[in-house]
Amino acid sequence: MVFKLLRVIRSAGRVAEPAGSAPAGPACAKAAALGGSVQLRHVDAGSCNGCEVEIGSVFGPVYDAERYGARLVASPRHADALLVTGPVTRNMAEPLRRTYEAVSEPRIVVAVGDCARNCGEFAGAYGVHGAVADVVPVDVEVPGCPPAPEAIVAALRGLTGR
Ligand code: SF4
């Protein structure tokens, strides 16, 4: 059984998408301080989880964002940047603010998806406090509902410059 599995793994080969050319320029002014890698803390501020599925793909074997120097970390104290999804719900406004304050400089915020940018489908809903920019300063926006993994990868490559 184990040998059969190893044979399948060996025959599958590399599944990652071709890297494509490096970004033309930085995604934001603060990106210059990163030096080629970015540690990201993901915050779901009220997403439907569609954006999380795409972020999962971005860090999976096909899009493999780690090869460009982007890594997800478990604590904001280990992060240089936040990857925020969803409209910010009333319950998540204060946790998002505190998480932002715990991130190291240059403290970049990437708003992923239309909900994060402008509340998207949830604009005007009872439990929604506002867009991400209504709570913390946003440096990079990735439009889409949900954004394609390629668009998220492009934004992250714009931070690392790789
Ligand atoms: S942008 Fe779309 S996929 Fe992402 S959280 Fe909003 S509704 Fe869900």
Give the model confidence (pLDDT) of 61-108 as tens digits.
999 999 999 999 999 999 999 999 999 999 999 999 999 999 999 999
Q: Residue 90: its pLDDT value, please?
A: 98
Residue 21 inside a domain? The answer is: no
How many distinct structural domains can be found in the chain?
1
Please tell me the distance from the alpha carbon of residue 135 to that of residue 117, in angstroms, as a whole number: 12
Q: Is 69 in the pocket of ligand 1 (CB under 6 A)?
A: no
d(CA 123, CA 16): 36
Q: Which amino acid residue places its CA nearest to atom 6 of ligand 1?
A: 115
Can you tell me which atom of ligand 1 is nearest the CA of 50? Answer: 3
- pLDDT at position 30: 93
Q: Is residue 65 lining ligand 1, measured as CB closer than 6 Å?
A: no
The answer to whether residue 14 is domain-embedded is no
Peptide bond into 106 cis (omega under 30): yes
Residue 53 placed within a domain: yes
According to the model, what pLDDT value does residue 98 have? 98
Does 18 fall in a domain?
no
Q: How do residues 15-34 score in pLDDT, each as one tens digit?
A: 888 888 888 888 999 999 99
How distant, in Å, are the alpha carbons of 1, 7, 8, 11, 14 from that of 4? 5, 5, 6, 11, 18
- pLDDT by residue (tens digit) across 112-144? 999 999 999 999 999 999 999 999 999 999 999
Identify the CATH number of the domain in which residue 38 sits: 3.40.50.12280
Instruction: Give residue 146's domain range.
Output: 27-160
